[in-house]
Amino acid sequence: MKQLNNDPGDPAIWEAGRNGIRAALSAEPTDVLLGYGLQLPTGAARTPFREQLQWLSGELTDLPARLWTFGGLPAHPSRWQRVSYRHQPGATIDEVAKTLLTRAAAEDLVRWQRQLTSKKRDAVDLADI
């Protein structure tokens, strides 16, 4: 399987990602944790990422599962320690997860998707936290 790092503009890589997501969603999950990040990638991955996010938003809007975020935004798991520190300095992710795992609504998905896919914006507004 091709890796995104090798050719981030290759549509086959992004379609393979969709296939994996479709398979997970076809299992009819009761909960989905959003963690796709708060910033757009740069370079060749930028446009396909926007398209992937638009597609994902559509898929999740039609899903009856509960949507969750960490810290009120779809922060990438690699950034959860920063989110945790912002809310409770010195605490571990495990210690604050109970309070930082928050429900998201379909309206949130639409707003984040618009912020990330807008030609004028490169990141979700952290003031939303």
pLDDT in tens, 19-77: 999 999 999 999 999 998 888 888 888 889 888 988 998 898 888 999 999 999 999 99
What contacts 70, CB < 8 A, 6 or more positions away?
Answer: 33, 35, 77, 80, 83, 97, 100, 101, 102
What number of other Cβ atoms are within 10 A of residue 12's Cβ? 10
**pLDDT given for residue 111 in this prediction:** 83
Is 50 exceeded by the pLDDT of residue 128? no
**pLDDT number for residue 112:** 82
> Is this model's pTM higher than 0.85 or not?
no
Q: Who wins on pLDDT, 117 or 124?
A: 117
Mean pLDDT of 5-25: 87
pLDDT at 4: 61
Place of tokens 């998707």: 113
Give the C-alpha separation, 92 to 48, whole Å: 34
Mean pLDDT value across the chain: 85
Can you tell me whether residue 122 is helix, strand or coil? coil
